[in-house]
Structure 1
Amino acid sequence: MPSPQSVYNDLVSSGKINADPAQARAMTLLSTLGDDLVAYDSQMGKQGWAARLGIGGKKQKPPKGLYLWGGVGRGKSMIMDLFFDHVPIESKQRVHFHAFMQEVHRRIHAFREAQKAGKVSEKKDPVPALARVIHERAWLLCFDEFHVTDIADAMILGRLFEAFFDLGMVIVTTSNRHPKDLYKDGLQRERFLPFIDLIQEKMNVMEVSAVRDYRLERLQGMEAYLMPNDDKASAKLEQDFESLTIGAQPRPMGLEVNGRVVEIPRSAEGVAIMEFLDMCGKPLGPGDYLAVARRFHTVILKGIPKLGPHNRDVAKRFVTLVDALYEAKTNLICSAAVAPHELYTEGDGAFEFERTVSRLMEMQSYDYIALPHEDEGARTGA
Structure 2
Amino acid sequence: MSVLPIIAASTEELTDIFKDLHAHPEIGFTEHRTAGVVADRLKAYGVDEIHTGIGGTGVVGVIRGNRDGARRVGLRADMDALPIEEETNLPYRSTNPGVMHACGHDAHTTMLLGAAKHLAATRDFAGTAIVIFQPAEEGLGGARGMLADGLFERFPCDEVFGMHNSPSGEPNRVGICKGPAMAGASFFDIRVQGKGSHAAMPQQSRDPLVIASALVGSLQTILSRNVAPLDACVLSVTQLHAGSAYNVVPDVATLAGTIRYFKDGVRDLAETRMRELCAGFATAYGVEITIDLRNIFDVLMNDADLSEAYLEAAADIVGEENVSNADEPATGSEDFADMLKVVPGAYCRIGHSGTTGLHNPSFFLDPDLLPVGASVMARIVERRLAS
Q: TM class by shorter-chain length?
A: under 0.3
Q: More strand by proportion, 1 or 2?
A: 2
Q: More helix by proportion, 1 or 2?
A: 1
TM-score of the aligned structures, taking structure 2 as reference length: 0.20
Compare relative contact order (CA 8 Å, sep 6+) and give the higher one, 1 or 2.
2
